[in-house]
């Protein structure tokens, strides 16, 4: 797993706590979704497949190497491991990736429609509109490559017909993006439902605030 002197790392405790917050925030149900965190030494901690978050313990988490081989853990890693590994391999400034099934964001994913960055904080924290990936099969390396390519200048992307992916320096920051994107999707949906027309931010604001996102991401 490529690392630089400034690559952020996390702990299994942070991964587990964030996974449970993800459930409490209503971003997933049951055992859906997954979280990864970069560990020191080129390792990655992942949530397991088919284990409920409210009963999940540190012992359930799985640690992989950069190729996806299991280093520790008695459970199977999430089936979306390629999605996480692809993003963390490509971007050493990232420390965590989260995949959720947030309802409003997933509505946009089903429509293959980007969530517009009509609120300033979305540009600052996400980098701009949240694009929708081309459809790729769940759990495939092709999906991992598609997602990683879209995360080059964004902190969040939609999985076509599936859900939402966010990334950040820490699991907590990736979770913040997930809640922000879901809130924005709900606001956009509600504005349209009330018959309102979505008004874009001025281009200057988009440009300047996207620069803030890039600087923060490159200096974790």
Give the structural domain span for 150.
Answer: 12-218
Q: What is the pLDDT of residue 2?
A: 64
User: Is residue 7 domain-resident?
Assistant: no
User: Is residue 28 domain-resident?
Assistant: yes
Catalytic machinery residues: 80
User: Is residue 111 domain-resident?
Assistant: yes
Provide the number of structural domains found in the chain: 1
**Which pTM was predicted?**
0.95
User: Is residue 4 domain-resident?
Assistant: no
User: Is residue 147 domain-resident?
Assistant: yes
Q: What is the pLDDT of residue 37?
A: 98
Q: Which CATH number goes with the domain that contains 144?
A: 3.40.225.10
In the sheet with 34-39, reading across from the earlier edge strand, the strands are 70-72, 62-64, 43-46, 34-39, 96-100, 163-168, 156-159
User: Is residue 6 domain-resident?
Assistant: no
What is the share, in percent, of the chain residues with pLDDT greater than 90? 91
Q: Is the confidence at residue 90, as pLDDT, over 90?
A: yes
pLDDT tens per residue, range 33-82: 999 999 999 999 999 999 999 999 999 999 999 899 999 999 999 999 99
pLDDT tens per residue, range 169-194: 999 999 999 999 999 999 999 999 99
CA 51/CA 35 separation, integer angstroms: 13
pLDDT tens per residue, range 3-20: 676 789 999 999 999 999
């Amino acid at each position: 797993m490529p690392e630089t002197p400034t690559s952020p790392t996390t702990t299994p405790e942070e991964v587990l706590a964030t996974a449970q917050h993800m459930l409490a925030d209503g971003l997933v149900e049951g055992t859906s979704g997954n979280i990864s965190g970069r560990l020191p030494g080129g390792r990655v901690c992942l949530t397991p497949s088919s284990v409920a978050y409210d009963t999940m313990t540190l012992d359930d988490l799985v640690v992989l190497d950069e190729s996806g081989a299991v280093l520790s853990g008695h459970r199977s890693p999430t089936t979306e491991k390629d999605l996480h590994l692809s993003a963390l391999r490509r971007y050493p400034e990232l420390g965590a990736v989260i995949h959720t099934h947030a309802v409003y964001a997933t509505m946009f994913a089903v429509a293959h429609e980007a969530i517009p960055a009509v609120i300033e904080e979305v540009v600052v924290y996400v980098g701009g509109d949240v694009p929708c990936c081309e459809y790729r099969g769940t759990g495939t390396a092709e999906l991992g490559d598609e997602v990683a390519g879209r995360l080059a200048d964004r902190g969040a992307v939609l999985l076509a017909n599936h859900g939402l992916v966010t990334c950040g320096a820490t699991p907590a920051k990736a979770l913040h993006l997930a809640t922000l994107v879901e809130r924005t999707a709900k606001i956009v949906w509600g504005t349209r439902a009330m018959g309102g027309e979505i008004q874009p931010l001025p281009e200057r604001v988009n440009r300047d605030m996207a620069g803030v996102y890039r600087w923060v991401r490159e200096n974790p």
